[in-house]
Amino acid sequence: MPINVLMPALSPTMEKGNLAKWLKKEGDAVKSGDVIAEIETDKATMEVEAVDEGVLAKILVAEGTADVPVNELIALIAEEGEDPGSVQAPKGGAEAKTAPVEPKSTPDQNAAPDGAHASYARVDQAPEGAMPNGAASSANQPTAQASDGRIFASPLARRIAKQEGVDLSAVKGSGPHGRVIQRDVQAAIEGGTAKAGASAKSQAKSEDKAAAPAAAPEKAAPKAAPAGGAPAGLSLEQVKGFYEQGSFEEVPLDGMRKTIAKRLTEAMQVAPHFYLTVDCELDALMKLRETLNASAGKDKDGKPLFKLSVNDFVIKAMGLALTRVPTANAVWAEDRILRFKHAEVGVAVAIDGGLFTPVIRRADQKTLSAISNEMKDFAARARAKKLKPEEYQGGVTSVSNLGMFGIKHFTAVINPPQSTILAVGAGEQRVVVKDGAPAVIQAMTATLSCDHRVLDGALGAELIAAFKGLIENPLGMLV
């Protein structure tokens, strides 16, 4: 049965695209990873890769066709053993559409440079959501099986199943007509279902070793994307293959590590980061901190009511900076930007095996002492894993401070859905030039990571300049 190639969604908001060019013609053999077509969006040209082996039997949408709806059938691939000449368009489908407009001869000025392209895990199945013409999702179809008992599965799915000892007959297929594809096998592996017997897995491994010399020139098949959608990179067996057996300990991922890996991988893939770095003089802040701490009242046990840290000043300065640059006090939300009336600043708190980022709400309005005491409470409950979800969700920005570890400078990954994160280094004595003469000051380096969908360079620079101004003139945080 032929494999459907659908118009892919290159972004969450994409509804239509232009089929700029076919890089394969009818009758050409294709294999997993081959680039078969170029799709134009309003800002870039992307390349579409095949995920199954076969022959490009029929092109249904001609190159140069504009405004092709997402999920529309654009081509058919005959799978191995199938006669390409016998492949026909589905009933109701037309022959290849003619192009109403010529493809652009000059590249979009906003297109990705040097022919940069994106690859997609699937082009023969629509993404989750509505299917064209009310068609039901193939995810609910059972595994396709021929009358002779043969299971329909892609070559890549068969290869991974063989390596991992997975029984394909027990795997539910989500491809066209119930065909088992790569991600179905991976889901079975991760879920611990559909495992073949130990002897089958052992036999598969021995067969793989015997075939290793012949297969050496080929690239190892990438592991399928997990349910979260983020590429998984090398498989477990591929990674372990680089190291001597018995030289390492396998540590299963807990829920927190899985979440961190998923969210921050998505952040680096989805949010286009850029970075802005400044050096901040701390002399005035350190003097003010000493004065305020010395003036703190005592509780009934004789302990100070508060003890301000440099990080408390950083949180307050970031909150005020966001209100002074209100356009930056915003987050990305699919097809719009949400701009906030008050500043919500998350603060990274390291714990064993991960971290929490509790959020100081209305940081622009709270006093330094209130921020200090709230952070002490958050940090204690974070380390005890007693924080409530509403206490670490949301926020517009975050602060990550590694100064206590002696780190002078680093860049941090934005925590979605936030649009910025400030990486703070250690305070230290530095020699600078003041009034034409060398002088020793206390200084720290801070780097702001920005989501370019929300902030452009000039806006990010304005925000970090406001932060620097407050740090170097800390009396502004008291009024």
The answer to whether the CB of 200 falls within 8 A of the CB of 171 is no
Q: Is 452 one of the annotated active-site residues of the chain?
A: yes
Q: Which of 120, 26, 125, 152 is nearest to 77 (CA)?
A: 26
- Cβ neighbours of residue 8 under 8 Å, at least 6 residues apart? 17, 39, 48, 70, 120, 122, 123
Maximum CA extent, the chain: 89
Q: Where are the alpha helices (DSSP H) in 87-130?
A: none
Q: Where are the alpha helices (DSSP H) in 55-197?
A: 155-164, 182-191
Cα of 251 vs its chain's centroid, Å: 23
Helix (H) or strand (E) holding 217: none
Cα→Cα distances 93→1, 96, 300, 372, 421, Å: 16, 9, 82, 66, 50
The answer to whether the CB of 183 falls within 8 A of the CB of 257 is no
The answer to whether the CB of 72 falls within 8 A of the CB of 7 is yes
What tokens appear for 380 in the block? 């204690």
**Pick the catalytic residue: 117, 342, 409, 452?**
452
- Cβ neighbours of residue 221 under 8 Å, at least 6 residues apart? 32, 156, 159, 160
Rg of the chain (C-alpha set):
28
List residues with catalytic annotation: 452
